[in-house]
Amino acid sequence: MALINEHYMKLPNNYLFSDIAKKINSFKVTHPKEKIIRLGIGDVTQPLPAAVREAMHKAVDDMGSKETFHGYGPEQGYSFLIDAIIKNDYASRGITLEPGEVFVSDGAKSDTGNIGDILRHDNSIGVTDPVYPVYIDSNVMSGRAGILENGKWSDVVYIPCTEENHFIPDLPSRRVDILYLCYPNNPTGTTLTKEELKKWVNYALANDVLIMYDAAYEAYIQDPAIPHSIYEIKGAKKVAIEFRSFSKTAGFTGIRCGYTVVPKELNGFTLDGQRVQLNKLWNRRQSTKFNGTSYITQRGAEAVYSPEGKAQVKEIINYYMTNARIMKEGLLECGLHIYGGDNAPYLWIKTPHGLSSWKFFKKLLYEVNIVGTPGVGFGPSGEGYLRLTAFGDREDTLEAMTRLKKWLL
Ligand code: PLP
């Protein structure tokens, strides 16, 4: 008889996107002629950069000849990609990393979800709220979250990020062992300055807290003063793991590639207080449960760092960030309270007249045929907000703003 991991049974079904789909479908039945504009999507829409496509074509050809064929690769990633990552994403910002500290993977979702494998089940967890749901759900699966009561997990420390605190999280009131930070933030689109991030690194250093730093959207940072990596802060290598992704940077949501940095200076503890390098544990975990990202994919990711790749990626990011600017200006003109959108592809709207997230979602759908994502779907502090993304087509983005202005002005 196989006994199951009963923690899985505590997880409610993820209703958010299926509820949204149901509401759109019932709208379509009653309004078949209306053109819906979807600004709720968290997926990119622009095609893969040419430099990446060319590198992948060449890599396919490599696989076709005996001399250049690649079978199983290193589980941690090929050195051609790791070297390019270290040189371009870290050395360029004055951060020194060894190749053995970078682990290439099939994306940040897997890594942020799997990292808990190397940590005890009874660590306490802290998250900023609202939050990318994977952090909490993966901890529910391993029994770290407790039980769900009134929309909150009993053993999770929620650190609210709302209009009231300008989306800058306060240090938690209760002790946490592991803390998730995501900047630029999904869903609020807000960022932390170097000073604010320093506050968290110093807190972690003083209290032996492990920070999981998700920088999946760092490529969207426009303001040169905002840190791209937590390792820009002194001492961070002693307290933080950093997750990165090629998904939103270079259109890899369907290709799948990301990487995780686990510095060798970073330690966890055994119950009797012995220090253990987390790098060694993650290396062991990956070598056992992961067989490497495909050679073709890694050649594609390497091309993101070529001069052509860099220029093409910049153009795509500019496209989305121009959408974000158009949206922000349009929404502000409509008198709405808007956050994010300056250094991230997400805009976080305070619902007008104190409407709930879902009521505002429905009004947008029925009155102007625009789809967003109700903020409450990202956590209790998301109630009263709605997320729009800048990943749509320019034409749709412009049309959406015209509709909103007609509606609200
Ligand atoms: N981290 C955050 C904050 C995200 O929003 C997403 C995707 O939406 C991911 C990670 C997943 O990235 P990947 O496509 O690399 O798995």
For residue 214 and ligand 1, the question of a CB distance below 6 A is answered with yes
For residue 1, the CA-to-ligand 1 centroid distance in Å is 36
Report the interhelical angle of 50-63 vs 295-303 (nearest 10°).
150
d(CA 182, CA 88): 21
Cβ of residue 182 lying under 6 Å from some atom of ligand 1: yes
Q: Which helix (H) or strand (E) holds 19?
A: helix 16-30
258 lines ligand 1 (CB under 6 A): yes
Q: Identify whether the C-beta of residue 130 lies closer than 8 Å to the C-beta of residue 182.
A: no
Ligand 1 lined by 108 (C-beta under 6 Å): yes
Measured CA to CA in angstroms, residue 291 lies from 101, 114, 284 at distances of 17, 14, 12
In terms of phi and psi (left: phi > 0; alpha: psi -120 to 50; beta: otherwise), the region of 161 is: beta
Please give the pLDDT value at position 16: 83
What is the structure's pLDDT at 42?
86
Between 7-16, 207-216, 221-230, 280-289, the lowest mean confidence (pLDDT) is in 7-16
What's the gap in Å between 369 CA and the centre of ligand 1? Answer: 27
Measured from the CB, is residue 184 less than 6 Å from ligand 1? no
Using CA of residue 256, residue 212, residue 375, residue 368, what is the dihedral sign? negative
* 198 Cα–ligand 1 center, Å: 24
**Is the previous residue joined to 130 through a cis bond, with omega within 30 degrees of 0?**
yes
- Residue 221 pLDDT grade (very low, low, confident, very high; cuts 50, 70, 90): very high
DSSP bridge pairs for 213: 181, 242
**pLDDT > 70 fraction of the chain, expressed in percent and rounded:** 100
Arithmetic mean of pLDDT, 222-240: 98
> Measuring from atom 11 of ligand 1, which residue has the nearest CA?
109
What's the pLDDT tens digit per position in 33-51? 999 999 997 899 999 999 9
Q: Which residue has the tokens 């969207």?
A: 220
Q: How far is the CA of 109 from the centre of ligand 1 (A)?
A: 5
Q: Find out whether the beta carbon of 378 lies less than 6 Å from any atom of ligand 1.
A: no
Q: Which of 190, 191, 274 is nearest to 225 (CA)?
A: 191
Atom 5 in ligand 1: which residue has the minimum CA distance?
Answer: 186
**pLDDT, position 82:** 98
**In Å, how far are 134, 240, 348, 366 from 389, measured between CA atoms?**
19, 28, 9, 19
Of 215, 155, 161, 125, nearest to 382 (Cα)? 161
Interval 335-375: pLDDT, tens? 999 999 999 999 999 999 999 999 999 999 999 999 999 99
Segment among 7-16, 188-197, 222-231 with least mean pLDDT: 7-16
Take residue 68 and report the two structure tokens written for it.
């250049």
CB 275 within 8 A of CB 54: no
Look at the pTM and tell me if it is higher than 0.75: yes
Task: Give nearest CA residue, ligand 1 atom 8.
Answer: 42
Ligand 1 centroid to residue 34 C-alpha, Å: 32
